[in-house]
Structure 1
Amino acid sequence: MTQVQGTATDDRTSLGRLIGAGLILVGLVLLALGAYLGPYTYATATPGKLTVDTCTVDYKYRTSTSSSSRKKTKTRWCYGTFKSTDGSVTDLNAELKSDALHQRGYVIEALKTGDTTYKLDRGWVYAIAVGCAWLFGALISLAIGFFATVTGFPFGQASGQGLFRTCLVLVGVGAVGLTVSLLVAFFA
């Protein structure tokens, strides 16, 4: 009795399906991150105001491996007193990554997101736009992953034009939605 081994095409189709399953997993992680980094973080943060004592700039130099140039990045930090809107939380040693250098006494709308972490309060529109950007990025990964899992693509044969068109439309919707969400987040 002879036993027939699987063909190379079957092995490659299995690899395509495995890659598709990995992309689906990546899409689910992106969905969870979008929900957490967008609306959930904003809803659970403590809103308040940070009164600036001082602001500094941290310069960091990175040496690029592809060239001999050094790239300089600068991060602005403001330090001061954070007081929540309802008055329940006061932190005399708050630090916040800022978008600009501010004078002593300047008041910044801030969110307390952890025990010692603060970020700029950009509002619900920004939080929802960030969540949607992650969601639409996840949609791209999920659509490609679903197509690869069902068909074994890129190594297998496409099982149906309808599935391909549907996944292509979902990737297009994801790309447009991601672009619009990032634009809303940038201008919010």
Structure 2
Amino acid sequence: MTLPDTLVIEQPWGAARHLFGTRYETHAYTEHGAPVVAVAERKRLGPLRKLLRATGFSGRTTFDLVVSHLGQPLLLIRKGPGKPPTQVSRPDGVPIGSVRKESRSHYALLDPSGRRICYFGDVAGFTQGAIARRDGRRVRQDVLRLHPGAAEPARSLALATGLVFDIVRGVGTNHTGGGGFDFPAA
């Protein structure tokens, strides 16, 4: 499946999500509102990980996610404990590469051997965190704009970075720490 160059990425937003949300979940739509992909945890969370995810340690817990379209897996995204790179692979487990946070605003896209291909900003634009409504629920909307003609594997790695931005930047599911960029849409 070829995904569009622009995706509106949404995740649930509200008091209950902030205080009790421990599972990572996002959905991506076209600019016209058609659903494209969903990102969800692949496994159930144990009690210790649930507890850590409800705290400021959420970003340092492990994440094992699947990106799917109509139930068909497109990408697997994993992050180990601490601050390792976020690993991206195809559904059959073949590694595509990884994403490593190098500074507050620079995310390196790495090939499977760990060599830098480019930076996230070289192949995509990303707008963070406008709060909006979809189907009567509050959601945070991020917008990912992949540069047309971006080559693989950089395109897939940039897509994964946008879909799991909170994990790549090290926040995880804890949104109570104040990121400074979550604001209502005008």
TM surpasses 0.5:
no
TM-score (norm 1): 0.21
**Of the two structures, which has the highest relative contact order with CA contacts closer than 8 Å and spacing of 6 or more?**
1
Point out the structure with the larger strand share. 2
Structure whose alpha-carbon radius of gyration is higher: 1
Which one has a larger percent helix, Structure 1 or Structure 2? 1
TM-score normalized by the length of structure 2: 0.21
